[in-house]
Amino acid sequence: MLTAVWQPHLYAKSMRIAREQIHDQNRRNEAGHREALNFLTGRLKKDGHDTERLLKSIADFQLAIPSWALGTGGTRFARFTGGGEPRSLEEKIMDVGLLHALNRSSGSISLHIPWDIPGNATEVMALAGELDLEFDAVNSNTFQDQANQDYSYKFGSLSHTEKSVRQKAIQHNIDVINYGKALGSKALTVWLADGSCFPGQSNFAKAFQRTLSSLNEIYSELPDDWKMFVEYKPYEPNFYSTVIQDWGTSFLLAGKLGAKAFTLVDLGHHLPNTNIEQIVATLMMEGKLGGFHFNDSKYGDDDLTVGSIKPYQLFLIFNELVYGMNNPASTNPPPAWMIDASHNVKDPLEDLLQSVEAIKLAYAQALLVDHEELEAARDNNDAVLAQEILQQAFRTDLRPLIAEARLIAGGALDPVSAFRSLNVRKHLIGERGFKTVSTGL
């Protein structure tokens, strides 16, 4: 049984995973883990790696969990909800607390407004604080009409042809900034569904200019220590054109807006086979990579578990990210790391644990790359050696090192199996019921 703690000042009689329960789980796997770790660290040290430094970098790497991805996702055909889904923002925060207790790497939550409006910011902050969580970027939503809305985003929001609709969308973004301020967030993410479904429907240049002018108004309300992330996407829900369709358009907007505006890369927002690692390198070179939405895909914006389809691509992206972050000449501020995935058939919490693990693995593998050696190979046009260097890192199984970093931080050696042995989902169903539907995707 999991520990149930009554929090009188908060209204949830909610489950927490106690450290002792995690230790009990870890004791079962300890021997096998030590053996694998000793073998790995022996090899890494022989190859000249500083394993203590690697452990620290891995432990420090934190990912924001989206408030909209704690329930089951769906497609436009159906949504098969699972049991025990969070019914309120507070329950979502509790869920992120469970993830963080297990992996010690999910230390923040990213809110989508109005799906998750914090009613009482002080209480919400207190709950997050108890669970050792912070609030990451806040996300605006002008891609749906809300009940009782007397205007419509059917034909766009910040780019709408009618000024009054644009004004509503601008005001919504300003409201979102204000919600974020109360929670200690430091960034606003803007993703627009604006675009057109048919050739001729929209004037591309005018739509861009209206968007820029709306974003400028929002930008002028952004606190000095905040950032604005402009997320791009080539298609969906509009199928002919999207106003902010690609990194170039986002980069153009960010440049025109000013120093606090950046591009946000969502891995699922590219046409098939796009070289995303090159986009990352270019944006970092220009100091304009603000944030990342991780997921994986086979065809489009599939929002699948990170690393489930193209783990090598993920590693190559991290290779550029690590290079960009460690390059002393880089002016790029540390990007904000977020997951943006949807779970149609998996338990959302298990899926998120898998995504975090995949991201940390790719990051750690990228840390193994010797960039001086790689540059030398490049300078000599030695494509064979360059590939050897990258694939040597990619093919090193660093899972014991990731597990060790988690163990040191008080997390579970194997978060998914701990989640299952502790019957977390069963407990959540007992608490919240079986037929629950959470807001979000």
Site of interaction with Mn ion (CB under 5 A): 266, 293, 340
Structure tokens at 301: 């914006």
**What is the closest distance, in whole angstroms, from the C-beta atom of residue 113 to ligand PSV in the complex?**
10
**What is the closest distance, in whole angstroms, from the C-beta atom of residue 266 to ligand PSV in the complex?**
5
Annotate 202-236 with b (16+ C-beta within 10 A) or e (fewer): beeeebbebbbebbebbbeebeeebbbbbbbbbbe
**What is the closest distance, in whole angstroms, from the C-beta atom of residue 191 to ligand PSV in the complex?**
4
Pattern of binders to ligand PSV over 245-284, x per CB under 6 A? ---------------------x------------------
Q: Note whether 357 binds ligand PSV by CB under 6 A.
A: no
Pattern of binders to ligand PSV over 316-355, x per CB under 6 A? ------------------------x---------------
**What is the closest distance, in whole angstroms, from the C-beta atom of residue 352 to ligand PSV in the complex?**
15
For β-strands 13-16 and 64-66, DSSP reports them as unpaired
CA angle 22, 28, 30 (to 5 degrees): 90
**Can you point out the beta strands (E) in 1-94?**
3-6, 13-16, 64-66
**Residue of 295, 287, 253, 289 lying closest to 270 (CA atoms):** 295
Task: Determine the Cα–Cα distance for residues 354 and 352; give it in Å rounded to an integer.
Answer: 5
Instruction: List the one residue from 91, 116, 231, 296 that touches ligand PSV (CB under 6 A).
Output: 231
Q: Note whether 142 binds ligand PSV by CB under 6 A.
A: no
Instruction: List the one residue from 72, 105, 139, 305 that touches ligand PSV (CB under 6 A).
Output: 139
What is the rounded (10 degree) CA torsion for 97, 99, 103, 106? -70
Q: Note whether 153 binds ligand PSV by CB under 6 A.
A: no
Residue placing its CB nearer to ligand PSV in the complex, 72 or 139: 139
Task: Determine the Cα–Cα distance for residues 184 and 169; give it in Å rounded to an integer.
Answer: 23
**What is the closest distance, in whole angstroms, from the C-beta atom of residue 242 to ligand PSV in the complex?**
10
Q: Note whether 301 binds ligand PSV by CB under 6 A.
A: yes
Residue placing its CB nearer to ligand PSV in the complex, 136 or 301: 301
- The answer to whether the beta carbons of residues 238 and 272 sit under 8 Å apart is no
Q: Note whether 68 binds ligand PSV by CB under 6 A.
A: yes
- Would you give the distance in Å from CA 24 to the centre of its chain? 30
For β-strands 108-113 and 134-140, DSSP reports them as parallel
- Contacts with ligand PSV by CB under 6 A: the residue count is 10
**What is the closest distance, in whole angstroms, from the C-beta atom of residue 28 to Mn ion in the complex?**
37
If contact means CB under 5 to 8 A according to the sort of partner, which of ligand PSV, Mn ion, none does residue 172 touch?
Answer: none
- The answer to whether the beta carbons of residues 107 and 373 sit under 8 Å apart is no
CA angle 30, 368, 308 (to 5 degrees): 70
Residue placing its CB nearer to ligand PSV in the complex, 68 or 323: 68
Residue placing its CB nearer to ligand PSV in the complex, 266 or 357: 266
Q: Note whether 194 binds ligand PSV by CB under 6 A.
A: no
Interface residues toward ligand PSV, by CB under 6 A: 68, 139, 191, 231, 233, 266, 293, 301, 340, 441
